[in-house]
């Protein structure tokens, strides 16, 4: 086997698959975060824990900008609450607009699942 400096085709295919999987997860992240927050006020660390437990690995550097954007779009609100161990914590809740947005995303998700199931 000669080394021409080319990336093996199998490595390229695997990289493309991983990129697609990552894009699919990223596309669903807002929906998943809204689902978690819809259950009641929640701390950002708890959101990360739930996402990780669902195999939707997310880092703080991804979550915090998303929460900030959702807040600026008036989909989320937050309150500061004292913590027993450390500084006050920011707890997120859905606004009325956030609940409406989540309702629309649920309908879209259901439609997508039905479409993909048909293709499968």
SS3 105: helix
Block mean pLDDT (10 aa), the chain, length 120: 60 82 85 97 94 86 94 97 89 98 96 95
Could you report the per-residue pLDDT of 53-87, keeping only the tens digit for each? 998 877 888 899 999 999 999 999 999 999 888 88
pLDDT of the residue at 20: 86
pLDDT at 18: 86
For residue 52 the two structure tokens come to: 């990780």
* CB 80, CB 92: distance < 8 Å: no
Do the beta carbons of residue 33 and residue 48 sit within 8 Å? no
Domains of the chain, residue spans: 28-119
Report yes or no: 34 and 97 within 8 Å, Cβ to Cβ: no
pTM of the model: 0.81
Q: What's the pLDDT score for residue 5?
A: 61
State residue 93's pLDDT score.
Answer: 98
Q: Which two tokens stand for residue 5?
A: 């400096």
Residue 86: predicted pLDDT:
86
Q: Give the right CATH number for 28-119 from 1.10.10.10, 3.40.50.2000, 1.20.120.80, 2.60.120.10.
A: 1.10.10.10
**Token pair listed for 41:** 């006020």
């Amino acid at each position: 086997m000669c080394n021409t400096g080319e990336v093996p085709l199998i490595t390229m295919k695997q990289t493309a698959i991983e990129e697609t999987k990552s894009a699919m997860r990223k596309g669903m992240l807002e929906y998943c975060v809204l689902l978690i927050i819809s259950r009641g006020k929640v701390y950002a660390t708890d959101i990360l824990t739930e996402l990780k437990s669902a195999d939707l690995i997310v880092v703080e550097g991804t979550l915090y900008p998303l929460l900030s954007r959702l807040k600026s779009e008036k989909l989320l609100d937050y309150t500061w609450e004292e913590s027993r161990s450390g500084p006050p914590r920011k707890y997120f809740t859905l606004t009325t607009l956030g609940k409406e947005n989540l309702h629309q995303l649920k309908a879209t998700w259901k439609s997508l699942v039905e479409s993909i199931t048909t293709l499968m």
